[in-house]
Chain A
């Protein structure tokens, strides 16, 4: 095993022993402010969250849901109205931002325009009065780690957006942070670079095992990178869970809608059985396992069925499935490995995603009537309010 830092080897694969990470615990954090009209706004409302050592946690939610405020409270840029932030079990409420040792990677990267790449990365070490030779060694390691060797004498304006982003990352990592914070770091990159950098960040996080809090509004980013996802809505936690839980078992219409392009179809509870719920959708009865229902539902309730696009398949001629319904193809989008269809059913457009099937011709004419089947175990039932 080769260790990162204090080590002359070419490729670091593990962090050194003097690099400690910490866990993070937020207890009932409240942060309010006044908007321009003087109304009181709860940016973060009674927010509690535990992040274990080395865990990658992502805050997602629509803009204005308070995710960035949470990040800024943790970093110490905002003082919470009430509640506590604990790091390694100790309250850090009274520790000023510059003593928290939790660097943030900004959406704008916030590189210092008057310093070279080298000096940008060395900045935190110089502040900590680390001896010159160690700074040199550590910065060079970092340059290697983020693949920027040879760029150290350039200025931020002279390198591309992706490279700037990696400098920001290196600058944060070089001070051996106990926790690292990301504030929508990839939203200024183009799609291809975003995917690359996403993998890069995940690789480094896996490699170094640093406790990470990541803020994004991109669901794919959240799903692919995180150990756990926190979905936020209006300053509160809507749901916490692993990417799989959030994706397959959303607790609310809000979560289901935000994650995974869910289709919603209205239905009525026809009857509640021991293991199943029979739901009437139009003139069909769907039989759905009881654990797919969230909250308290009774016979006669109107419910929304959340159906993920990939849970729907197209019935081949001769195939039979009790949970089937027919619709009209309105649009087809060929996307290589998958094909996306918009099918009109019950006056709403439903998204259907099918993997490419080499044996089966998957093209349909516009306005062609087709028969769809749905996997009942992939339907979530939400009570309609």
Chain B
């Protein structure tokens, strides 16, 4: 960099700083956001790294040396990576086939299939592990009862691959169906028009264009698998993985520095993938979403593949439904595999023990949701529409949390806020802070979407038709951002209700969470109660969907009324 551009850079910074000083309210806002992000995002990270590097108060690599030398940690690391690679590859393949089927082939019942794929995203993260035990466990319905296989071992690598693939491919599906929809059908038509056969069109046009999406899907599922905590804790058996080891190191052994070291090890791949995705994949994406082409792709696959793809989608959907049905059924059955009597006792017990937990969980999620979304939208507004020094840094810090594994977040919060003046452990505030800062990227994302809805022109056009800024906000801005707000709120609420990996470090006697309770019940072999609790949790989420949707109808019918007919 030359001296000239340096001086220009500082001149520029000086001007933006001056502008900021002219608006004191905005200055205060920016400063307090930076303070909060520093305290609740960067500080816990710093503490975690510090504990692992300075186990005895001075710099020492002993923690990492131990981790990398001990056989059980080495195995955990390679297990995590192996599992991640297998699940990401399988998940991405299923996601692509599913997305291709749903975007490119016309057949009835598409909405049902889409619903089936969304279901795993909104359920508690380990629900597949619970039902895997029911279906494929030692007393499993499929393995033992129907097929008569004794001692089929679902615990371990095999089981984890099955449940993680099923619960994580939907994320890939969302990315890929977005990308496949964004590919202009004209491109495919054009390729055929230039003489390419169907398969050739697919390999030369559709597939290369979807490649960035495939990469994104693979990476995202890989990270999800790596950081997954609930499934391996239940189904891991003698297949130790990193995220579980971090927790056990702290809970079982009370070894803080080593727990921190493992959390950092978990953090390295996820944060680097986050950076990779942010800076490399984004630039490589060929798709520009213009929203212009509403035509459906006329390129369809051959009849045989057509049937195979639909069959495949039905199969996957059926497997997902069987997993859900078995949980539901399991919650009403006295002792699965042994005593098939129907009973309500699990529910009665669940409510007896868990009512306070249910209340806590819902209350905390309800408080955290609006704060998270509004906070995120404010950040989005500042980042998109304003300029001030340190803006990019703020944007990165704000979304960084999404890439940090929940285990590391929980660990960091636990060791950062356990003494005066920041004594938050045991209170509801540590859970709220964890929710808000972990899920604020959802609010930011929706804020960006909302801002693209409310273009500068639209606001100005309201102004020069005579509306003051208050009226413009009420009659134009608010109705336009409501849909994004509601959908972000829905997603945040679900995340708060189902998050486990971070929360497990932060729950206390006075503030509990349903997911940790279900996990505890599973560990204590109170499986029926765990199933009942899972059903209750899923129901609460579905009810919240209905409630949010109700809120939305006003905004939605009017904004999206226009899309209904095409």
Residues of A in contact with B (beta carbons under 8 Å apart): 34, 36-38, 75-77, 96-104, 106-108, 110-115, 123-124, 127-128, 154-158, 171-172, 175, 181
Contacts and interface: CB of A to CB of B under 8 A. Distances in A.
Contacts of B559: 113-114
Contacts of B480: 112-114
Q: Is the interface of A mostly helix, strand, loop or mixed?
A: loop
Contacts of A114: 479-480, 555, 558-559
12 contacts: A38-B14, A75-B460, A98-B467, A112-B458, A114-B480, A124-B465, A124-B466, A128-B466, A155-B558, A157-B563, A175-B465, A175-B466
Given A34-B15, A112-B476, A155-B561, A98 B458 contact: no
Contacts of A101: 466
Q: Is the interface of B mostly helix, strand, loop or mixed?
A: helix
Contacts of A103: 461, 464-465
B562 A156 contact: yes
A100 B464 contact: yes
A103 B461 CA distance: 7
B300 interface: no
B468 interface: yes
A112 B454 CA distance: 9
A113 B466 contact: no
B457 interface: yes
Given A37-B12, A38-B15, A110-B455, A158 B463 contact: no
A99 B468 CA distance: 8
B471 A110 contact: no
Q: Which 8 A-B pairs have the closest CB atoms?
A: A157-B562, A110-B457, A110-B461, A124-B465, A38-B11, A155-B562, A114-B558, A127-B466
B12 A104 contact: no
B462 A123 contact: yes
B457 A113 contact: no
B464 A98 contact: yes
A154 B561 CA distance: 9
Contact of A127 (B15, B453, B471, B561): B471
A156 B458 CA distance: 13
Interface residues of B, number: 32
A64 B422 CA distance: 54
B478 to A, nearest CB: 10
Interface in B455-499: 455, 457-458, 460-469, 471-472, 475-476, 479-480
Given A36-B12, A112-B461, 6 more contacts: A98-B469, A106-B457, A108-B455, A110-B458, A111-B458, A112-B462
Contacts of B461: 103-104, 106, 110, 112
Contact of A102 (B8, B457, B464, B467): B464
B464 A76 contact: yes
B295 interface: no
Contacts of A96: 468
A129 to B, nearest CB: 10
B320 to A, nearest CB: 34
Contacts of B563: 157
A114 B462 CA distance: 13
Nearest to B457: A110
A217 B464 CA distance: 23
B565 interface: yes
Contact of B465 (A36, A108, A127, A158): A127
A38 B12 contact: yes
A127 B464 CA distance: 11
Which of A102, A112, A154 has most chain B Cβ within 10 Å?
A112
Contacts of A76: 463-464
